[in-house]
Amino acid sequence: MLKKAKEAAAQGNATGGSKDLAQAVLDSSHQIWLAGVGAFMRAREEGGKAFESLVQQGEKLEQRTKLAAAETAGAASAKAKEMQQMASGTWDKLEQVFEDRVARALGKLGVYTQNDVQKLADRVERLSEAVNELLNASGTRAPAAARKTKSRKKSAKKSTRARS
């Protein structure tokens, strides 16, 4: 545009018309202004379309991101459950090892286990019953100490059952 105005001015000087130069500059500035208005209108029309296009792309990206986040969360949850099960199994094994070592140490010290005490109590009870049967068969009365032992066993069983 400016080149056309300069060419027109050069031709105007040759012809002697400063009016033509002013008109050329005026026409050139008017064309520039019209080009700016046209660019503004195009940006306005296409800007709305561009905005809508960007919104649609954003919605698609948001959907993909949500899907990826859900998949990642599911995988993380599964991994957490797996780790929890592994840790639980490890604690169970550790507890069993500890119990075995304590039982072995108590055995080396000669401390009786609950199972040993129960076996002895059962054996004493069977022996007591056998002695009472022998005494009854021979016709003699059971000594008072034996009767007290039997009543003590019954009360001990009751208290053992109450603890369980």
pLDDT of residue 151: 58
Terminal alpha carbon distance of the chain: 106
| Cα–Cα distance measured from residue 6 to residue 131, given in angstroms and rounded to the nearest whole number | 141
Among 50, 11, 3, CA closest to 28:
3
CB 25 within 8 A of CB 3: no
Could you list the residue range(s) of the whole structural domain that residue 79 is in?
1-89
Considering the domain boundaries, does residue 104 fall inside one?
no
Considering the domain boundaries, does residue 34 fall inside one?
yes
Among 23, 42, 41, CA closest to 31:
23
Please calculate the CA angle 125-129-135 and round it to the nearest 5 degrees: 145
CA–centroid distance for 156 within its chain: 51
Instruction: State the residue for tokens 């859900």.
Output: 70
Please give the model's pTM, rounded to 2 decimal places.
0.32
How many domains does the chain contain in total?
2
pLDDT of residue 9: 58
Among 44, 45, 4, CA closest to 25:
4
pLDDT tens for the chain, 164 residues: list them: 556 656 655 665 555 567 787 888 888 888 888 888 888 788 777 877 777 888 888 899 889 988 988 888 888 888 888 888 888 888 888 889 988 998 888 888 888 888 888 999 999 999 999 999 999 888 776 555 555 555 555 555 555 555 44
Domain-terminating residue out of 74, 89, 104: 89
Q: Are residues 122 and 74 in the same domain?
A: no
Domain-terminating residue out of 89, 123, 139: 89
pLDDT of residue 149: 56
pLDDT of residue 124: 96
Q: Are residues 65 and 140 in the same domain?
A: no
Q: Are residues 83 and 12 in the same domain?
A: yes
Q: Are residues 82 and 116 in the same domain?
A: no
112: left (phi over 0), alpha (psi -120 to 50) or beta: beta
Q: Are residues 15 and 85 in the same domain?
A: yes
Considering the domain boundaries, does residue 50 fall inside one?
yes
Considering the domain boundaries, does residue 57 fall inside one?
yes
**On the CB side of 107, how many CA atoms lie within 13 Å of its CA?**
8
Q: Are residues 34 and 80 in the same domain?
A: yes
Q: Are residues 4 and 74 in the same domain?
A: yes
Considering the domain boundaries, does residue 120 fall inside one?
yes
Considering the domain boundaries, does residue 75 fall inside one?
yes
Q: Are residues 69 and 145 in the same domain?
A: no
pLDDT of residue 164: 45
Considering the domain boundaries, does residue 102 fall inside one?
no
